[in-house]
């Protein structure tokens, strides 16, 4: 978006503050000197592409999914709460329903049993949606990478835009990650949807190997299943 005042209106590049001053009176508070205010200046109009405008809006008002998994969620709550107050950056109102959220912070270890659920929650979020992976567990499985039951990173299941490393990352680090995400969104970037090893499929669609044969009388043809494959994960 154009932050620069249009040259044909002004003589200098300094923003005009006449309107603002007449409106605010004396002693304008510093916080009104935002880039936006400077950009608007005397003119109430601004020219930009609609897409850019939408990206900027998206990045500036994000609704997080209230979603706790493991240890990292404690630090995530701390980022929402007093002192760190993620809301300062326009991203701090957690929504309990995935249908109202557009950013999902994945705070913790994902295990085989939870994988399909997380996928489902992600699928329920409306487009466009973004994911912040919090902690080493969402990068690689973290300290539990060798576990028989642990998915080695959130990226195996859903696309992740920003990884925040740490075990757990400090709230400051998470906030930095969210700020970076906002920056990316405002620039119209988001991570490409990669092909993931773990997909939800109907049981009937799985190749008929030994394991599938064995489970055939336990699982219905049209039940959704996910194949957990420890050996082939990175």
Partner 1 sequence: MSTELERAVTETVTEEELEALIGDRALARDDHKNAPGFVVRPDDVQDVLLDLREEAGFDHLSCVTAQQYEDRYESIYHLKKYADPTQEVSVVVPTSVDDPVSQTAEPVFRSADWAEREAFDLVGIDYEGHPDPRRILLPETWQGHPLSLDYDQEKPQIVTLTEHANPIQPDHRDEESDTMFLNIGPHHPATHGVLHVKTVLDGETVADVDPDIGYLHRSEEQMCQQGTYRHQIMPYPDRWDYVSAGILNEWAYARTAEDLADLEVPEYAQVIRTMSAELSRIASHMLALGTFALDVYGDFTAIFQYTFRDREIVQDILEDLTGQRLMFNYFRLGGVAWDLPEPREEFFAKVRDFLDDLPAKVAEYNDLVTSNEIFQIRCVDTGILEPEVAKQYGCTGPVARGSGIDYDLRRDDPYGYYPNLEWNVVTEDGCDNYSRVLVRMQEVEESAKIIEQCIDLLEEWPEDERNIQSNVPRTLKPDADTETYRAVEAAKGELGIYIRSDGTDKPGRFKIRSPSFHNLSALEEMTKGEYIPDLVASLGSLDIVLGEVDR
What are the φ and ψ backbone dihedral angles of 59, each rounded to 5 degrees?
Answer: -70, -25
C-alpha span between 34 and 172 (Å, rounded): 23
Identify which of residues 55 and 140 has a Cβ nearer to partner 1 in the complex: 140
C-alpha span between 75 and 171 (Å, rounded): 6
Question: Which of ligand SF4, partner 1, none does 28 bind, CB closer than 5 to 8 A by kind?
Answer: none
C-alpha span between 78 and 170 (Å, rounded): 9
Q: Is 132 in the site for partner 1 (CB under 8 A)?
A: no
Question: Which of ligand SF4, partner 1, none does 219 bind, CB closer than 5 to 8 A by kind?
Answer: partner 1
Q: Is 173 in the site for ligand SF4 (CB under 6 A)?
A: no
CB of 104 to partner 1, least distance (A): 10
Q: Is 184 in the site for partner 1 (CB under 8 A)?
A: no
CB of 161 to partner 1, least distance (A): 20
> Sheet of 130-134: strands edge to edge?
93-95, 63-65, 103-107, 130-134, 162-164
3-state secondary structure of 60: helix
Q: Is 136 in the site for partner 1 (CB under 8 A)?
A: no
The answer to whether 125 and 78 have CB atoms below 8 angstroms apart is no
Binding residues among 200-229 for partner 1 as defined by CB under 8 A: 200, 203, 206, 211-212, 214-215, 218-220, 223-229
Q: Is 148 in the site for partner 1 (CB under 8 A)?
A: yes
What are the φ and ψ backbone dihedral angles of 47, each rounded to 5 degrees?
Answer: -110, 125
Identify which of residues 115 and 135 has a Cβ nearer to ligand SF4 in the complex: 135
Cα 116–Cα 144–Cα 164 angle in degrees, nearest 5: 80
Binding residues among 73-112 for ligand SF4 as defined by CB under 6 A: 108-109
């Amino acid at each position: 978006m154009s932050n620069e005042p249009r040259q044909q209106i002004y003589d200098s590049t300094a923003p005009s503050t006449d309107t603002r001053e007449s409106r605010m009176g004396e002693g304008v508070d510093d916080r009104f000197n935002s880039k936006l205010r400077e950009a608007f200046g005397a003119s109430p109009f601004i020219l930009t592409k609609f897409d850019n405008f939408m990206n900027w809006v998206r990045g500036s008002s994000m609704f997080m999914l209230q979603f706790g998994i493991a240890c990292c969620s404690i630090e995530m709550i701390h980022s929402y709460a007093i002192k760190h107050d993620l809301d300062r950056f326009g991203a701090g109102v957690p929504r309990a329903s995935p249908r109202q959220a557009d950013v999902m912070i994945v705070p913790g270890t994902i295990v085989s049993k939870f994988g399909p659920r997380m996928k489902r929650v992600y699928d329920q979020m409306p487009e466009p949606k973004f994911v912040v992976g919090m902690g080493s567990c969402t990068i690689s499985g973290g300290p539990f990478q060798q576990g028989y039951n642990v998915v080695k990173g959130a990226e195996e299941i859903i696309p992740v835009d920003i990884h925040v490393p740490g075990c757990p990352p400090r709230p400051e680090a998470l906030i930095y990650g969210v700020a970076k995400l906002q920056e990316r969104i405002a620039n119209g970037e988001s991570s490409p949807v990669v092909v993931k090893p773990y997909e939800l499929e109907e049981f009937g669609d799985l190749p008929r190997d030994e394991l599938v044969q064995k489970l055939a009388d336990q699982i219905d043809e049209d039940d959704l299943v996910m194949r957990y494959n420890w050996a082939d994960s990175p």
